[in-house]
């Protein structure tokens, strides 16, 4: 049996908020992580991905992420990939 390694990248969408007049970009990932009282380091250890990738996603510094990484992060938070990373209209 031959195995094929398939890689899939997903565009990560960010929500914008303007509290107190300051422009702030924050992903649903960060909101959910904080809601669950997890640090980036804790989430990275649970998910098995680097803290740097989590930080980049949360801060809008990365546009595409491998689907496998998104699955690991979502699972570590007890959520589905679509629920965590896609907007309502994209689901």
pLDDT for residue 17 is more than 60: no
pLDDT of 76 higher than 80: yes
What pLDDT is stored for residue 52 in this prediction?
96
Place of tokens 């098995």: 48
- Provide CB contacts within 8 A for 70, sequence distance 6+: 10, 12, 81, 84, 85
Q: Give every CB contact of residue 15 below 8 A, 6+ residues apart in sequence.
A: 25, 26, 27, 28
What CA–CA distance (Å, rounded) separates 18 from 6?
39
CA–CA gap between residue 38 and residue 73 (Å, rounded): 12
pLDDT of residue 24: 34
Cβ count near 5 (within 10 Å): 4
pLDDT tens figures, 43-67: 999 999 999 999 998 888 887 888 8
| pTM of the model as a whole | 0.71
């Amino acid at each position: 049996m031959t195995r094929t390694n398939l890689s899939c990248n997903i565009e990560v969408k960010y929500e914008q908020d303007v509290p107190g007049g300051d422009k702030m970009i924050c992903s649903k990932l960060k909101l959910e992580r904080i809601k669950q009282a997890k640090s980036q380091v804790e989430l990275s250890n649970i998910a098995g991905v680097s803290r740097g990738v989590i930080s980049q996603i949360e801060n809008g510094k990365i546009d595409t992420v491998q689907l496998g990484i998104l699955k690991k992060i979502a699972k570590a938070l007890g959520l589905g990939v679509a629920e965590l990373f896609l907007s309502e209209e994209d689901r």
